Amino acid sequence: MGNLKINVGTDIVEVKRFRRKPLRGNLSFYNSVFTKSELEYCLRYSDPYPHLAGIFAAKEAAIKCSTWPLRMIDINVVRDADGRPSVVVRCNRNTMTIKVSISHTRSLAIAVAIITM
C-alpha cells in the first residue's frame, strides 16, 4: 500500500449558536463564513439553522485535516446529484476536494472530513 497518508478532521456544533445569530441583521457575518451557494442551499429549508451548523462543522473539519492555511470563505461545501456533500477548497490558485460527511439533528450538527494523500 506504500506510504498512504490519511488526514482526518471532525467538528461538532450546537445549532443554537446560529439560531441566536439570525440571518437578518447578521448578513456580514454569514457572508464572511458561507459562500453564496451554501446560503442559497440552507435557505431552501424552512429551518436553515441546522444546515448552516452542518456546513460550518464541515468547514471546521476540513480546516482540521488540511495542511493548507485556510479561511472559512476559501471552503465551499457542494453536493453531487445524489445530495452527497464534499468540500472544494481554493487556496493560492490551488484546488483540492475533500471527502466529508455531515449529519445534524435539530440541536447538533457534526461533520467528518478525510483527505488521502
CATH number for the domain harbouring residue 105 = 3.90.470.20
What local confidence, expressed as pLDDT, does residue 1 receive? 57
Contact indicator for 70, 62 with CB cutoff of 8 Å: yes
- The confidence score (pLDDT) of residue 68 equals 83
CA–CA separation, 30 vs 99, rounded Å?
23
Output the nine-digit C-alpha cell for 47. Answer: 429551518
Domain count, the chain: 1
Task: Write out the residue range of the structural domain in which residue 34 sits.
Answer: 6-116
Give the model's pLDDT for residue 105. 96
SS3 90: strand
Q: In 93-113, which positions are buried (b, 16+ CB within 10 angstroms) versus exposed (e)?
A: eeebebebebebeeebbbbbb
Please check whether residue 25 lies inside any domain of the structure.
Answer: yes
Confirm whether 52 is domain-assigned: yes
- Tell me, yes or no, whether 102 lies in a domain: yes
Full pLDDT tens readout for the chain, 117 residues? 578 899 999 999 999 999 999 999 999 999 999 999 999 999 999 999 999 999 999 999 999 999 888 899 999 999 999 999 999 998 788 888 999 999 999 999 999 999 987
Strand partners, 114: 8, 99
pTM for the model stands at: 0.93
Q: Is 1 domain-assigned?
A: no
